[in-house]
Amino acid sequence: MTRRSLDEIDRQIVAQLSTDARTSNRQIASDLGVTEGTVRARIKRMEEEKQIRITAVTNIDRFRNGSLAYIWIEVERSYQVREVASELARITELGFVGEMLGRSDILAITMVRSNEHLAEFVHQRISGLPGVRRTESTLGVNFVKHDYRMARIVS
């Protein structure tokens, strides 16, 4: 299957859906001056080619009983980064796992109820994984801006 790049109409469709994924194809078509069938076909293609995924997103601003925990992970050997990251990605409680450049090799993000919950999670689920040398954790305490659409590519 060949993947095409997103053209201007695709990007406009994605922009509208990223604001409100419930926007109807009819409304998007009207706003863009194309047919509803065009919008439907383009959304279907982008989903099939895994260029977009339409899903509900938790509004982190509404969580009062939890904190966003950033877990910075250093691996023993550089060749282990991908393997450790893949193992972390299997942990359902982690909402983000990424290979990083800089001081740490991997960043994992999750929600925790308390400092104790974070410590327990890190010690029981992460520190003991083969290849993990050390971890450092930080808690987000006040979110000035949280854009759930952060996956947008800056133009």
Domain residue ranges of the chain, discontinuous segments joined by +:
8-48, 60-140
Looking at residue 87, its pLDDT comes to: 97
Looking at residue 66, its pLDDT comes to: 75
Which CATH number, 3.40.50.300, 3.40.50.12500, 2.60.40.10, 3.30.70.920, labels domain 60-140?
3.30.70.920
- Asked if 71 contacts 135 with a C-beta cutoff of 8 angstroms, the reply is yes
Which CATH number, 3.40.1190.20, 1.10.10.10, 2.60.40.1220, 2.60.40.10, labels domain 8-48?
1.10.10.10
Looking at residue 113, its pLDDT comes to: 85
**Mind listing the pLDDT tens digit of every residue in the chain (155 residues)?**
566 889 999 999 999 998 888 999 999 999 999 999 999 999 999 999 999 988 876 666 666 677 889 999 999 999 999 999 999 999 999 989 999 999 999 999 998 988 999 999 999 999 999 999 999 999 987 777 766 665 444 44
Q: What is the dihedral of CA 81, 86, 87, 89, to 10 degrees?
A: 120
**DSSP letters of 11-78?**
HHHHHHHHH-TT--HHHHHHHHTS-HHHHHHHHHHHHHTTS--------GGG-SS-EEEEEEEEESSG
Looking at residue 55, its pLDDT comes to: 80
